[in-house]
């Protein structure tokens, strides 16, 4: 998979049809991001706005607001933690629905089959069900958190979908790809005040350092 040039080697492989499936999804997703002037998550907002604008407005009675508040006060109470959980679930689904195609379909399928998994404080990973030998996943890093320090047994391409992250080599923003190989030792960390959402494709497992590295060697963690 080794690419020396993102906009050269990658696009040449894509154009020739020799690119493996997961990387093809990554490249097509990047193309969509670079075409969009707005945020990648503006797609769902645009759809919602179009649906609302197509609705026919209805006249409300003068006391409609007071009537609604009376019904709310008189209805069954909902535990606060249930409301919070529902809001969090809705936000997570909206985030996936806002992803560019063709990544969106794989993300929704993977969410229904596997879902997000805890990978450390402020770090969640969702393996993507994309055919082929490469490992593809969505990575979500909360503001101020990062992945453990690691290097690579092969090559990893990471596309920023929203937010931003930085490592020892610099900062990466939506539409940018960070390529890392066995010569790179780094600790990606979300920067800014929003979570960083990325798609990563790798052709070999990561190689961790420190305590995680020892556990990896002892238990053959990939």
pLDDT band at 113 (very low <50, low <70, confident <90, very high): very high
Does residue 75 sit within a domain?
no
Does residue 58 sit within a domain?
no
**pLDDT at position 64, please?**
59
- Return the higher-pLDDT residue of 220 and 173: 173
Query: Can you tell me the distance from the alpha carbon of 60 to that of 70, in angstroms, rounded to the nearest whole number?
Result: 16
Does residue 62 sit within a domain?
no
Does residue 63 sit within a domain?
no
> What is the extent of the structural domain holding 177?
6-51+83-219
**pLDDT at position 121, please?**
93
Query: Can you tell me the distance from the alpha carbon of 117 to that of 129, in angstroms, rounded to the nearest whole number?
Result: 14
Does residue 69 sit within a domain?
no
Whether residue 176 contacts residue 195, with contact meaning beta carbons closer than 8 Å, is answered with no
Does residue 71 sit within a domain?
no
pLDDT, one tens digit per residue, over 47-69 is: 444 444 455 555 656 665 566 55
Q: Could you tell me which residues come within 8 angstroms of residue 114 by beta carbon, excluding any fewer than 6 positions away?
A: 126, 127, 129
- Mean pLDDT over all residues of the chain? 78
Is the pTM value of this prediction over 0.75? no
Q: Over 103-159, what HEC string results? A: HHHHHHHHHHHCCCEEEECCEEEEECCCCCCCEEEEEEECCCCECCCEEECCCEEEE
**pLDDT at position 58, please?**
57
The count of domains in the chain is 1
> Closest Cα to residue 158, out of 129, 142, 178, 181?
178
- Return the higher-pLDDT residue of 70 and 185: 185
Does residue 89 sit within a domain?
yes
- Return the higher-pLDDT residue of 107 and 51: 107
Does residue 43 sit within a domain?
yes
**pLDDT at position 66, please?**
64
- The CATH number of whichever domain residue 101 belongs to comes to 2.60.120.10
């Amino acid at each position: 998979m080794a690419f020396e040039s993102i906009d050269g080697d990658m696009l040449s492989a894509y154009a020739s049809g020799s690119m493996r499936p997961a990387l093809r999804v990554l490249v097509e997703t990047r193309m969509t991001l670079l075409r969009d002037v707005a945020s990648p998550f503006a797609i769902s907002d645009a759809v919602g706005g179009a649906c609302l604008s197509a609705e026919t407005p209805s006249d409300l009675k003068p006391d409609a607001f007071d009537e609604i508040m009376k019904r709310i006060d008189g209805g069954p109470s909902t535990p606060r933690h249930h409301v919070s959980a529902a809001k969090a679930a809705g936000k997570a689904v909206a985030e996936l629905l806002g992803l560019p195609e063709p990544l969106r379909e794989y993300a929704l399928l993977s969410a229904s089959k596997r879902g997000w998994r805890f990978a450390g404080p402020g770090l969640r990973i969702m393996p993507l069900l994309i055919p082929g030998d490469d490992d593809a996943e969505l990575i979500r890093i909360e503001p101020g958190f990062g992945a453990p320090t690691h290097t690579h047994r092969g090559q990893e391409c990471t596309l920023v979908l929203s937010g931003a992250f930085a490592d020892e080599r610099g900062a990466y923003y939506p539409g940018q790809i960070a390529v890392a190989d066995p010569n790179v030792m780094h600790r990606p960390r979300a920067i800014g005040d929003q979570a960083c959402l990325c798609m990563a494709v790798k052709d070999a497992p990561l190689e961790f350092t420190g305590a995680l590295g020892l556990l990896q060697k002892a238990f053959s963690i990939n």
